[in-house]
Chains A and B, each alone.
Chain A
């Protein structure tokens, strides 16, 4: 039983170490993509149509 505890403990430390040294955390996946056309259009990211169509957050 001590060795199992040690093994699980090492696993926990490995997970934490991964967040420290490799930047892991709760997975951050991009949930949208600004098309190149929007980025290059007048106003760029400020394009009203992009931010006010489809799902953008929950407000």
Chain B
């Protein structure tokens, strides 16, 4: 676009005489660059309409006179107006008056990292009154239904350049912002109420569709975060503000003094209570979340009461480089990343909501209240501030709506893990559970446990392969049923042999075996144990034992050396049927183990006793040499498991102690 357009109108400022040029056909007023009087173009001449205040310094990539391309169309910025809210002043914003190559014009605004382009809608309109335009009110324009997202009063602060209509500073005007599907955006301008409302309709655009000509400064999509430090009026502490252009209220993290932003600095309001816990992500922390560089600028604790119980959660406001905000919400150590979305992109289906093709089910609706706040906020946050919060859920994604009488804000959130957050804020000393490195079993632990398990398997395998497990004796033994065996029949005690003493019926003297009880001991034949210093397994079984018991003294006798290894064996076995259920207890066999026996000849003596009513027992004896002992294998495995668990537990405690220090 050239500087000398064919529709240029030239003249002189009626106030100061400076030359003024109306380059845009659509421009009906202009702020004189020399005297700052508003010059109005009429059919016949130029007049003035009062003076406007000096411009407020609002950092912006847009400058009057700049040109560029937006969504493929060429434009030029003719002028700009600056507004501020009536209720929550001191956070002015500006809107650019731009003219397209075809002579039409639009308003271009920038907010929270997004562009809003609107043009005057000239079709038939049935607009609600300001009082009727409560947030959520649907307004159908042609085929598109938008809803009111915010209504407020604004005051014109200043202006510059050419404008589509005359402006007057200080005049309070009313407006309502609208949001529709696919980025549709609009503003109902009620003016000062003296004329019918008009609608500016357009859409929200990404910065990527904007290209300013190089002569007019850097591209707007890559502004760097410029921190501006202010002094806390409460404690004098240094408050580095990350987004001073949009910050409206600042709560000092050192003394909790709440202050409002003003042109001259911070204006103190009052001291707030200290939050019960430190933010896990310290204010000022820089990180990268999902490819976007962010700075944590504020921390809120909010709460709600459900069924008489108070619930709390914590929110972190993240300023995104280049403009815009994200939120992190933490409740019960579960984290969500929250992204504000256009309310018009959410469609209602009864109590459900749909967004980007996903249907969300209503979860809860309650009143959320701000309890504590620290840092810099883009609205005039107050402790006790309440919103009606409604939440819809689909898997790990949620939609949240926060509604007040004058505004509705909708956001989309998705769960984010602590690990992702730690990675996002790598290099920042995080606090709380987020700051703790979660315990991970060291690789060396895995290797050692795996090695031990492999060794265990190896020993078990070697036990199967190398142990002979040789049966050296296996026989069913005959238990003597009557008559003791006497080996002293020929021994002479006193004047008679022992046999004579027993036969005489007289008292049997010491030195002779008494006649009662009978000796029913059993001696096995001698057997050979060929393997030296190995274990020996002796199993005594009574196959006909039923509802009775057998006790036995068992002695393993080394036939070569005379060594006797004596043990006791107690067998008992009972069974029956009770209430149709069969049961049994005890065992008909018992195993004895002998370790590291020298090789040689052995025999076994068994001296059994049994219940008088029971039949004479049948005893079966099995002797095995060098036999795998699987109870030891099980015990070793159990011991390894216990040692591993204890080792891991101690390692976790050590890790925890290191984290604490």
Chain A residue at smallest Cβ distance from B442: A2
Per-residue contact bits, chain B 537-556, to A (CB 8 Å; 1 contact, 0 not): 00000000000000111110
Q: How far is the CB of B540 from chain A (nearest CB, A)?
A: 13
A12 to B636, Cβ gap below 8 A?
A: yes
Q: How far is the CB of A44 from chain B (nearest CB, A)?
A: 9
A16 to B459, Cβ gap below 8 A?
A: yes
B565 to A26, Cβ gap below 8 A?
A: no
A48 to B593, Cβ gap below 8 A?
A: no
How many angstroms between the C-alpha atoms of A49 and B498 in the bound complex? 13
How many angstroms between the C-alpha atoms of A34 and B633 in the bound complex? 35
B487 to A20, Cβ gap below 8 A?
A: no
Q: Which of B243-251, B293-301, B449-457 contacts A (4 or more CB under 8 A)?
A: B449-457
Is B49 engaged at the interface, CB distance under 8 Å to the other chain? no
B466 to A16, Cβ gap below 8 A?
A: no
How many angstroms between the C-alpha atoms of A28 and B113 in the bound complex? 85
CB contacts under 8 Å to A, within B592-610, are: 593-597, 603, 605, 607, 609
CB contacts under 8 Å to B, within A38-59, are: 39, 41-43, 45-49, 51-52, 56-59
B448 to A25, Cβ gap below 8 A?
A: no
Q: List 29 A-B contacts (CB under 8 A).
A: A1-B654, A5-B445, A5-B448, A10-B452, A10-B455, A12-B639, A13-B452, A13-B455, A21-B462, A21-B466, A23-B533, A23-B597, A23-B626, A24-B535, A25-B595, A26-B595, A28-B565, A28-B593, A29-B565, A42-B490, A43-B485, A45-B605, A46-B521, A48-B519, A51-B605, A56-B553, A57-B554, A57-B566, A58-B553
How many angstroms between the C-alpha atoms of A28 and B502 in the bound complex? 39
B459 to A4, Cβ gap below 8 A?
A: no
A30 to B639, Cβ gap below 8 A?
A: no
Is B228 engaged at the interface, CB distance under 8 Å to the other chain? no
11 further A-B contacts with Cβ under 8 Å, apart from A46-B485, A48-B487, are A2-B651, A12-B643, A13-B452, A20-B463, A20-B629, A22-B596, A23-B534, A24-B596, A28-B596, A34-B557, A48-B513
Residues of A within 8 Å of B462, CB to CB, are 20-21
Is B497 engaged at the interface, CB distance under 8 Å to the other chain? no
How many angstroms between the C-alpha atoms of A16 and B654 in the bound complex? 30
Is B407 engaged at the interface, CB distance under 8 Å to the other chain? no
B488 to A34, Cβ gap below 8 A?
A: no
Per-residue contact bits, chain B 174-197, to A (CB 8 Å; 1 contact, 0 not): 000000000000000000000000
Q: How far is the CB of A50 from chain B (nearest CB, A)?
A: 9
B513 to A31, Cβ gap below 8 A?
A: no
Chain A residue at smallest Cβ distance from B653: A1
Residues of B within 8 Å of A20, CB to CB, are 459, 462-463, 466-467, 628-629, 632
Is B364 engaged at the interface, CB distance under 8 Å to the other chain? no
